[in-house]
Structure 1
Amino acid sequence: MGHDDLPPLELAFPGPERDRGVAAILSGEKTSLTGLLEIYEHAGEAVPTAGQRFSVLDSEGRHAVTIELVEVRVVPLKEIDDDFARAEGRGYLGVAEWRTAHEEFFRSDGVSEYLGRTPVIDDDTLVVAERFRVVEPGAPDSP
């Protein structure tokens, strides 16, 4: 299966934030993703499962890299730890910085506009915590 056959994955919104995320995946710094469960529910999308592969898109909507999920958990925000936060590849020193950045994003105008309201973000807010590995470009079927 080529990357054109894979479901697309878009980090944040197009622009600098997405570009930094794609660069962090390509450099190997980013090996985890966090999504707000409410966004999946609003979109009518199933929570991904380990083993699924995605074509990560850049800000122009072009394929940048293929990833494969190795772990997917739906957990309350309070269960994210320092190790997972650092694996986000954004330079977070720990979960406190990670949480501040994610709370800001989850309450951003773009997310609020998409959901039709500003979501409540607290310790019990459910997030989809995913760990992934990069599948080499040009070899999307490699083990």
Structure 2
Amino acid sequence: MNSINKFWLDFCQKHQVNPAALEEAFAFGRNSTDANALSDLVDRGIKTATTSVYNPNEDLPTVGMYAIVLDGNNQPVCVIQTKTVEVMPFKNVSAKHAYLEGEGDRSYESWRKVHEKFFTWECQEILGRKFTDETEVVCETFAKVQ
């Protein structure tokens, strides 16, 4: 049994959660440095939201489901539970949501600069399309459970 499965099964036993309630195990960001920094923010309860480019070929996160946050070495750090999911144009993401992401100085301006750069790269390199202010994004809030 790998460390992620063991972590999840231990969590389920401790919290009396059905093992089928795991939506995914994932790392934030695009490299191990990002994953380490962002998983630490989640683990400390600072980061309680995330934004991603909407991909109609992928399922949206499900409110109430759980996910395991991984560090830069793909090791489990904590479990989060999805609280809200909204799809909207990038330009409509609120300053409150940017603050909940917990990154940098937590300002909307800082959040927008970092995410615009990341989403431009992601759209071009991974999704093969152009990123604009009208690009739909998924805004998710979550709570750390363990």
Distance 2:106 2:144 in 1: 23
Aligned to 2:126: 114
Partner residue of 1:131 out of 128, 138, 141: 141
Q: TM-score, normalised by structure 1?
A: 0.80
Aligned to 1:141: none
CA RMSD of aligned residues (A): 2.0
Structure 2 unaligned blocks of 5 or more: 10-18
Distance 1:64 1:88 in 2: 17
Aligned to 1:15: 32
Alignment of 1:1-143 (within 5 A): 3=8, 6=22, 7-38=24-55, 41=56, 44-108=57-121, 112-115=124-127, 117=128, 119-136=129-146
How big is the shift at 1:123?
2.1
Larger radius of gyration: 2
Tell me the SS of whatever aligns to 1:25. helix
Contact 1:67 1:132 in 2 (8 A): yes
Contact 2:123 2:130 in 1 (8 A): no
Contact 1:50 1:69 in 2 (8 A): yes
Distance 2:46 2:120 in 1: 25
Letter in 2 for 1:11: F
Query: Deviating runs (4+, > 6 A) in structure 1?
Result: none
Q: What does the per-residue CA deviation read over 1:79-112, in whole Å, with 9 as the maximum and x for residues that have no partner?
A: 111111011111344222211101111122x663
Q: TM-score, normalised by structure 2?
A: 0.79
Q: Which moved more, 1:50-59 or 1:7-16?
A: 7-16
Distance 2:130 2:106 in 1: 25
Identity percentage over the alignment?
Answer: 28
Distance 1:121 1:104 in 2: 9
